[in-house]
Amino acid sequence: MWRYLKLWLSLAKFSLLGEMAFRGNFLVKIFVEVLWLAILLVFNFTLFQQTTHIENWDVNQYLFFIGCYFAMGGLIETLFLENCNQFADLIRTGDLDFFLLKPIDEQFLVSCKHIDWSCAPNFLLGLGVMGYALWTSGWVLNYSQIFAFVALFISGAALAYGFLLLLTSASIWLMRNQSLYEMWWLFTTLMRYPREIFSHGNWATPAGFFFSFVIPIMLVTNVPARMMVKTLEPSWLAWYALGSAVVVLIVSRYVFRAALRRYRSSSS
Amino acid sequence: MTQGLRKYLKILRISLVERLAYRADFFLTTFLRFLPLITTFLLWEAIYRGSGTDQIAGFTRDSMIAYLLLVQISRMFSSMPGLSTGIARDIRDGNLKKYLLQPIDMLWYLLSYRGAHKIAYIATTALPYGVLFLLFHEVFTLPSAWTWVAYIVSLLLAFLIGFFFEACIGVAGFWILEVTSLMYIINIVNFFISGQMFPLDLLERYPYVLDVLNVLPFHYLAYFPAMVFLEKKQGTELLVGLLIEALWALALILLSRWMYRLGLRHYSAYGG
């Protein structure tokens, strides 16, 4: 464990050095992200000129949700997305051989090797938005609530990581030419909104149930955000989110290893 | 003249065959692309429920959903993924030579190529989009025949504006070597100012912003055709809108051709 932490820290440092070699590119990428957040906020602001509530989320609570989503997305993009995106390439070129030869866990090496520092500011921007939303809503400091939020946020990130790994492994079989970026973006549409918007209508309600409990992608941001700005009324939902994070992590590891077993180093 | 046209029609045909080679891939991603659309519908329904009115900036719940669907059609015509970066890459790599050595003009060639791409794309997505439109058919009221004509004209002009705007950015590659990051920024801003994110009428409290956006060509890429279909632009407003759209298309054609000619003089065929 200690060895992996040390290894990860040196990989992080190495990635940062690589990024700093192209500082202009780094700055442009950050600028694009800030722009994207600004447009999201303008959209949000425009919506709340028309209504005081979206389901039972008021403007500050909804703003907090957006911050939580942005921070979560930033965290996953910084740590894992670029790595998983390259997995298909590693297989196609046969370069995965070099990963398998090393005396290190393959899943660690494939999914954590590169840290995309240019996405890290997203995490901070998300934190900033969350902080602003709490400040304007007159939130009173409550350490146990912060602790619960951090724990649920981490469990949400673990859940998202598990889904990303599942999608990465599945992409080997399903979509050889598709970029994982787009798949992930489309899939994470489901964690971008409060799950209450899925609570009306003939098909939306079952879909909402399905993506909350069977494939619990909606819980990734909903559970931590709810914990912080509302009291998480059915507290079993928090436990359910924690439990499903563990299950999805185990299942995704199993599927990933199954995908590796099918690898035959076909190139060269 | 006819021979010149036949040349580009042939290119259109070849590209069409090439595009249709990847069908299965196409269907899968098209269906996945509906996911953001569906969640946006649900979000709007929640907003209408929360606001307690059924008119937001002149849009009923139904016409809002119709708008969001129609914007997809507009973008089907006007979006040009990879066009400007492709042109800039050809300039940078020296691949531009292949156009200069043949009796073929790069911009007209790419226009035929894109036209084929669009026809193939529309043909192959007709089925999934047809299903989607059928599912939501009750939000639409079919417009009159003249509106149909105006709608199709506005879409074709949107294709030209989309194409020649991106061509201008691509041709700018003669002077700036890297247009990819510029395109990222333009795409994000465009998502907003073309009205793809929400109808621009929601900005009614900021008339000066609306004025600026109405002068720019970007709202023709998504907002304007959708509004034509919904019959929210009628009479002189419609005619003036179409006229300005045509003028923008013409201006961008001339600008891109002028930049291209200027660029060729500047060009020194590196690489290759």
Give the CA angle between residues B76, B77, B81 to the nearest 5°: 70
Residue of A189, A212, A217 for testing the chain B interface, max B β-carbons within 10 Å: A189
Beta strands, E only, chain A: 53-54, 57-58
Kindly state the DSSP code that residue A81 receives in the 8-state scheme.
I
Distance between CA B4 and CA B102 in Å, rounded?
13
Q: Tens-digit pLDDT profile for chain A (268 aa)? A: 889 999 999 999 999 998 888 888 888 888 988 999 999 899 999 999 888 889 889 999 999 999 999 999 999 999 999 899 888 888 878 888 888 888 889 899 999 999 999 889 999 999 999 999 999 988 888 888 899 899 999 999 999 999 999 988 877 766 555 677 888 888 889 999 999 999 888 888 998 999 999 999 999 999 999 888 887 666 788 899 999 999 999 999 999 999 888 877 665 4
Could you give the 3-state DSSP secondary structure of residue A5?
Answer: helix
| B127-B129-B134 Cα angle (round to 5) | 95
Q: Alpha carbon B16 to chain centroid distance?
A: 19
B185: chain A residues, CB-CB within 8 Å: 28, 31-32, 35
- Surface-to-core class of residue A102, CB atoms within 10 Å of its CB (0-12 exposed, 13-18 middle, 19+ buried): exposed
Q: Of B197, B4, B174, B217, which is closest to residue B87 (Cα–Cα)? A: B174
Amino acid identity of B96? L
Q: Which residues of A touch B36 (CB under 8 A)?
A: 186, 189
From the candidates A51, A62, A218, which should be mutated to test the interface with B, based on the most B CB atoms within 10 A? Answer: A51
The rounded Cα B140 to chain-centroid distance in angstroms is: 22
Among the partner-chain residues B39, B51, B203, the one whose CB lies closest to the CB of A189 is B39
Q: Which of A226, B54, A264 is nearest to A218 (CA)?
A: A226
* Contact by Cβ (8 Å): B50, A52: yes
Nearest to B190 by CA among B89, B67, B79, B63: B79
Contact A69, A111 (CB under 8 A): no
**Cα B180 → chain centroid:** 18
Query: From the CB of residue B229, how many other CB atoms can be counted at a distance below 10 Å?
Result: 25
| Nearest residue in chain B measured CA to CA from A191 | B39
Collect all residues from B whose CB is shorter than 8 A from any CB in A: 22, 25, 28-29, 32-33, 35-36, 39, 42-43, 45-47, 49-52, 56-57, 181, 184-185, 188-189, 191-192, 197-198, 202-203, 205
Query: Which of A50, A167, A198, A212 is best to mutate for the B interface (most B CBs within 10 A)?
Result: A50
- For the stretch B82-123, pLDDT in tens is 899 999 998 888 888 888 888 888 999 999 999 998 998 888
With beta carbons under 8 A apart, name residues in chain A contacting B33: 186
Q: What Rg value do the Cα atoms of chain B yield, rounded?
A: 20
Question: Measured between alpha carbons, how far is residue B67 from residues A119, A146, B196, B227 in Å?
Answer: 33, 41, 9, 7
CA–CA dist A104, A265 (Å, integer): 18
CA dist B173 → A261, B96, B177 (Å): 46, 12, 5
Contacts of A53 in chain B (CB under 8 A): 50
Cα end-to-end span (Å), chain B: 32
Write the DSSP symbol of residue A142: -
Compute the mean pLDDT over every residue in chain A, rounded to the nearest whole number. Answer: 88
Residue B235 CA to residue B249 CA, distance in Å, equals 21
The tens digit of pLDDT for each residue in A161-205 reads 999 999 888 777 665 556 778 888 888 899 999 999 998 888 889
Enumerate the domain spans of chain B.
2-266
Our CA dihedral for A10, A12, A17, A23, rounded to 10 degrees, sits at -170
Token couple for A249: 């992590």
Amino acid at B31: F
Per the CB < 8 Å rule, is B188 touching A43? no
| Pairwise CA distance, residues B207 & B151, whole Å | 26
Q: How far apart are the first and last CA of chain A?
A: 35
Closest partner CB to A198 (pick from B42, B56, B189)? B42
Contact B71, B229 (CB under 8 A): no
pLDDT of B245: 96
Question: In this predicted complex, what is the ipTM?
Answer: 0.89
| Letter string b/e over residues B61-75, b meaning 16 or more CB atoms within 10 A of that residue's CB | bebbbbbbbbbbbbb
In chain B, count H helices and then E strands: 12, 0
Q: Which of A42, A186, A197 sits opposite B42 (nearest CB)?
A: A197
Give the separation between CA B123 and CA A259, rounded to whole angstroms: 35
pLDDT at B269: 62
Q: Which member of A54, A177, A186 has the closest CB to residue B36?
A: A186
Of A47, A54, A193, the CB nearest to B39: A193
Q: Pick from A36, A43, A189: which is nearest to B188 by CB?
A: A36
- Distance between B78 CA and the closest CA of chain A, angstroms: 20
Which residues in A129-160 are b (16+ Cβ under 10 Å) and which e?
bbeebbeeeeeeeeeebeebbeebbebbbbbb
Tokens of B138: 């009750």
**What residues of chain A have any CB closer than 8 angstroms to a CB in chain B?**
25, 28-29, 31-32, 35-36, 39, 42-43, 46-47, 49-55, 174-175, 177-178, 182-183, 186-187, 189-190, 192-193, 196-198, 200-201, 204
How far apart are the C-alpha atoms of B81 and A232, rounded to whole Å? 43
Q: Express each pLDDT in B124-159 by its tens digit.
A: 788 888 888 998 999 998 899 999 999 999 999 999
Sign of CA dihedral A19, A22, A27, A28: negative
Every domain of chain A and the residues it spans: 2-261
Q: Which residues of B touch A177 (CB under 8 A)?
A: 22, 25
